[in-house]
Amino acid sequence: MDSINTYNARLASVVENLLELYEAPEASAWLKTPQSLLGNARPADLLWTERGYLEVSAVIHRVLDGAFI
C-alpha cells in the first residue's frame, strides 16, 4: 500500500477526469460504489496501489473515449 500523499495525488487525478463525465456528487458516488468493470471493487479502494489506479483510470478513459460500458 502506498502513502497517503500518493493516494491523494491519484484521487485528484481520477476526480479531475471524472468531472469531465459527471457533476461532483455523481463523481463522488461513482468512486464509492462497487463497479462491475473493476471486479465489483470500489474505485476509491483501488487507488491505494499503482495497479488499482491504472485499472480505474483505464475504465474512466474508455468512457471518455466514447466506449459504451
Q: What is the pTM of this model?
A: 0.90
Report the pLDDT value the prediction gives residue 6, as an integer from 0 to 100: 96
Helix (H, G, I), strand (E, B) or coil at 41: strand
pLDDT in tens, the chain (69 residues): 779 999 999 999 999 999 999 999 999 999 999 999 999 999 999 999 999 999 999 999 999 998 765
Contacts 24+ apart (CB under 8 A), 51-54: 53/10, 53/13, 53/14
